A = this chain, B = another copy of it.
Amino acid sequence: MRKNVFLISAAVAATFTFGASAQVKADAAIEYRHSVFEVIGWNFKPMAAMVKGEAPYDKEAFAKRAANVATMAPMALEGFAPGTEKGDKEKTQAKPAIWEKMDDFKGKMSKLAEESTKLAAISKTGTFDEIKKQFGATGAACKACHDDYKQK
């Protein structure tokens, strides 16, 4: 009996430890993916200001921002790996639908990577009109995912 109690305690302890560890990992993933989107947003805003005419268009600065976004976009997906849906719900804006429709989510993330890579390329060589058009396509790729998978 004493042995059984010990075994049960050990099993509970192991489950708890695993559970706590999974939570820690999921919370770290939440912080990570939030950070990736934060850096994307930081770079996106000055481009948006130029496109809207709220800031003077600076070709070099725009191209640098676009390159940064293209570099960051493929990094986000790793923060949504299986198990990361178990993190602290208060800390994330990710909807559970992400993990329920992972293939669709991955497709939308790929679309963002693709459009932002095009933007990075065109922002070096294109006209401002071409750049504005591709900026719109990139913003639409952000929005498509936000609409379905980000809590307001």
Contacts and interface: CB of A to CB of B under 8 A. Distances in A.
A130 interface: no
A124 to B, nearest CB: 17
A48 interface: no
A39 B42 contact: no
Interface in A41-89: 42, 68, 71, 75
A31 B35 CA distance: 8
Interface string A13-51: 000000000000000100110111011001000000000
Copies of this chain in the oligomer: 2
A39 B68 CA distance: 13
Contacts of A68: 75
The 6 A-B residue pairs with the shortest CB-CB distance in the complex, in nearest-first order: A35-B35, A35-B38, A32-B42, A35-B39, A71-B71, A31-B38
15 contacts: A28-B42, A31-B38, A32-B38, A32-B39, A32-B42, A35-B35, A35-B36, A35-B38, A35-B39, A35-B42, A36-B39, A39-B39, A39-B75, A68-B75, A71-B71
Given A32-B42, A35-B39, A36-B39, 8 more contacts: A31-B38, A32-B39, A35-B38, A35-B42, A39-B39, A39-B75, A68-B75, A71-B71
